[in-house]
Every structure is written in structure tokens, then in C-alpha cells.
Amino acid sequence: MLVLLSIFPAVLLSQIEKHPIYKASRAFEKEVPNYSSNRAKRELKLRELNQKLFLEEAKQEMPCSRQILEEVSWYLHYTADFYKVDRMLPYLEKSLSAMRIQSFANEQSPKDGSWGVCCREWFWKVVESEEAISTLSDKGELPMYQTKFLDRINSPEKLLVYLNNLLISDFQRKLIDKRKELNEGVTTLLKLILRDKPKNYYYHPKLKQTFIKFMDEKWQNPRTGFWGAWYKDGNRIIKTDDLSITFHIISYRKDKIKLWKKIVATILEIKDKPYPYGWNDIDGKMIIISNHNNYDVVRLLHYGWEYLDEKQKEEARSEIKKMLDWCLGKSIQGDGSFKYSEETLGDSYYFGVAFLNEIGFFSKENRFWTNEEFPQAEAYREKILSKLKTIKSKNQGIKDAETILHGINQ
């Protein structure tokens, strides 16, 4: 999703703070003249185009436009490369009007076996490729071409060079906040490598072991159990606790996680901090709640429920109830749609449905936190399914939402 950077400055942090917050935009402002004003005017154009794409995706798939938007958003929010942003915004705008058929963007490249032809950065191609590989795998199929794009990290030495290069952002050396690639690229590689996908690609026999050792022995914060981006600030390293990165790592590794008691304590301790260091986005003084972030929180609580003490469980129950009330009262609309609060139309449906499913709203099987009954759940399920049938574009988020709703055992 489009991330609103934290409003808290890095200069207020201390070495001993348990859950530090780092404001990357402050570093950009220091190094780039007129950074904030330059970013703000381009942000307005990006939001306008994002809204247009959101509306178009209700009618048809727009994978090339979506790939371009993801990448230009990254350039705008995680780099200070306004030159590339200015080149890509017109390209994005043109794709929305001139490229009516974009199925070519879903095809595999015969050159390196990747997907994501409208992406320029390697890690975004990895993200697009994982989704395509998983879709094929679910159907018992393999990629047509060898996925040679993975050769870049396919040895313990290559993988460690890549991971160590991304772990620390040093704005004195390069004006890139590496958090996004850590969250998207690295955790997507983790999913592929741990699950041996695709089956017709030979991973180095020590690659999985190398990845896990890096996460457990170097990257995981021993004080909090979380993972996150690290930042060089003067002569010290600030190690952040990142909700989204931690969510992805735990989702893909599940029971093979260390420091669970610290992880669940951290989840509750960071509740009021701004995303990604806490639960909700903050824009000025406004708290922005989303089903996406709520889903991340409840899934982590679900996985770690047995490690919570009774006091922590009571606190978690109260917070989950607030999330549910917000979802039913503010997010779901009367026609079964979800109020636009995510980056894509598919995400709006997927994360809304995934949140409700994770807390057991539709089914007792998942109701880990309460014995309360939800007699209205079936009516909501049918209403959402009905609305989904009217959406012509069937991107992955829409498909996943439908799969969840059809697979529910009441």
C-alpha cells in the first residue's frame, strides 16, 4: 500500500529506546533541496492516477498500469529520484488511456523467466513473479521458461551479499530507504526459497539454511523478537521493529519462529505508534485505520495466542473487537463493497475479507479470541460475494477474496 512516512523525527531517538521510530523523509530533507515541496506536488498527481486506476480495475485488469504505479510509488516514497518519478508519471498516465488491453503484462519473459514486464527494478519483478509462480503451482503447473532471474541470489555468498546490502540504509552514501525492498523483495524471496518454488528451478542446497540463519542470528531483534529496516544515523545503527516485515516473515515460517513471548508483547506495546512501527497510519493528527494493517495484527496475535498471558489476552480481545466494529461500521458498505482504503481494488476486498476470516467472523474454526457468536456473518458473506460477481476485473486480490468466502466452513 502507499505508505505515509512517520511524523516522528529520527533526531529524537535514543540508543536505548526499545521501539525506535525512524523518519526517512527527514534524512531526504537534509540531503535534497526543496525535498518536501517537490515530493508533495508529485504525490498529488500520483494519488490522482491511483484513483483512476482503482476505478478502471473495476472494469478490467490493468496489470501493466498497476506495475508502473507500484514502482513509481516506490521511487517517490523511498528514494529522492524525482527525475525518474517525472519520467514515469506520464508513462503511467498514458497506460491508463492508451493501453486498453494489458494482458501482455501477465506473460513470462523468455529472456530471464521473470514476470513484471512493466517493472524496471529487479525486486519488483521478483514480487510479480512469485504471484505468477504460485498461481501456476496451485494448478499443478510449472513455468514455461527457466526462472533464471533467480540466479542473482542462488548461492549462499550471493544471497548474503544481497541481504547485507539491503539491511542498512545509509543516506550519507545513497539516497534510498531500503525498507520497501526488504519488505517486498526479501520476504517474497523467502516465500519462494522456503517453499521450493518453482519446482523446476534448482536452488543451492545451502540457500534455505543460509537465509534462516541470517534472519535468526543477525536480523531478528533479540529485545523485541521483531524484524525491520536498520538505519545508519551518524555513528550509530537504529534497528526498527516493523509490523509488516515481521508479519511476512512469520506468515511464511509460522511455527519455526523464535522469541514468541517477546513478539506478542511487542505487538501490544507498539499499538499506538505510527505504521509501520505500530498499527495504524498517521497523517498529521489523523489516525488512518485499514483492514490491511488490522489483518497483519490479528494474524500475528492468532499465531502467537498461546504465548500471551491472561492480561495480554484481555487487551488483545478488546482491540480485536474495536477492529471488528470499525470494519462492519465503517469499512463495509451497504452494497457489500469495501470503502476505498487500500492501494488496489483487489486489496480492498482481499484484506477486508481476510481480516474477517482471520478473526473467525465467518467461521468458529478461526475464532481464537472469543466465544461470541456472529449470526449476521452469513448475510455479510453473501452480500460481499454478490458484489464481487459484478466486478469484471479478476486480479489476484479479487480471486483470493472469492476463494476465502467460498471455502468457509460455518
C-alpha cell belonging to residue 4:
505515509
Kindly give, in sequence order, each residue whose CB lies less than 8 Å from that of residue 29, ignoring residues fewer than 6 positions away. 35, 36
Number of domains observed in the structure of the chain:
1
Mean pLDDT, range 215-237, rounded to an integer: 95
Domain-embedded: residue 229: no
C-alpha cell belonging to residue 307:
504465548
What is residue 169's three-state secondary structure? strand
Is residue 9 within 8 Å of residue 26, measured between CB atoms? yes
Say yes or no to pLDDT of 244 above 90: yes
Q: For the segment 52-78, what is each residue's pLDDT rounded down to a tens digit?
A: 998 888 888 899 999 999 999 999 999
Phi, psi values for residue 79, rounded to 5°: -135, 175
Residue 54's pLDDT is 85
Residue 341's pLDDT is 65
Domain-embedded: residue 372: yes
Residue 55's pLDDT is 87
Domain-embedded: residue 40: no
Q: Pairing relation of β-strands 230-233 and 168-169?
A: parallel
Is residue 358 within 8 Å of residue 302, measured between CB atoms? yes
Domain-embedded: residue 399: yes
Residue 11's pLDDT is 38
**pTM for the complete prediction?**
0.91
Domain-embedded: residue 161: no
Residue 15's pLDDT is 43
Domain-embedded: residue 269: no
Rounded Cα–Cα distance for residues 169 and 43 (Å): 23
Is residue 71 within 8 Å of residue 95, measured between CB atoms? no
Domain-embedded: residue 206: no
Domain-embedded: residue 373: yes
Residue 63's pLDDT is 93
Residue 345's pLDDT is 83
Q: For the segment 152-165, what is each residue's pLDDT rounded down to a tens digit?
A: 999 999 999 999 99
Say yes or no to pLDDT of 406 above 50: yes
If we measure between CA atoms, which residue out of 81, 164, 161, 166 comes closest to residue 120? 81
C-alpha cell belonging to residue 146:
527457466
Say yes or no to pLDDT of 285 above 80: no
Count of other CB atoms within 10 angstroms of residue 136: 17
Q: Alpha-carbon dihedral of residues 132, 134, 139, 142, nearest 10 degrees?
A: 70
Residue 340's pLDDT is 67
Rounded Cα–Cα distance for residues 170 and 121 (Å): 20
For the chain, give the percent of residues with pLDDT over 70.
95
Residue 297's pLDDT is 98
Mean pLDDT, range 306-334, rounded to an integer: 97
Say yes or no to pLDDT of 13 above 50: no
Structural domain of 389: 289-410
Mean pLDDT, the chain, integer: 91
Rounded Cα–Cα distance for residues 53 and 263 (Å): 37
Rounded Cα–Cα distance for residues 227 and 256 (Å): 15
What is residue 286's three-state secondary structure? strand
* Exposed e or buried b per residue across 189-213, where buried means at least 16 C-beta atoms within 10 angstroms of its C-beta: bbbbbbeebbeebebbeebbebbee
| Widest CA span in the chain | 58
Confidence of residue 301 (pLDDT cuts 50, 70, 90): very high
C-alpha cell belonging to residue 331:
469499512
* HSE-up of residue 255 (Cα within 13 Å, Cβ side): 0
Rounded Cα–Cα distance for residues 1 and 4 (Å): 9
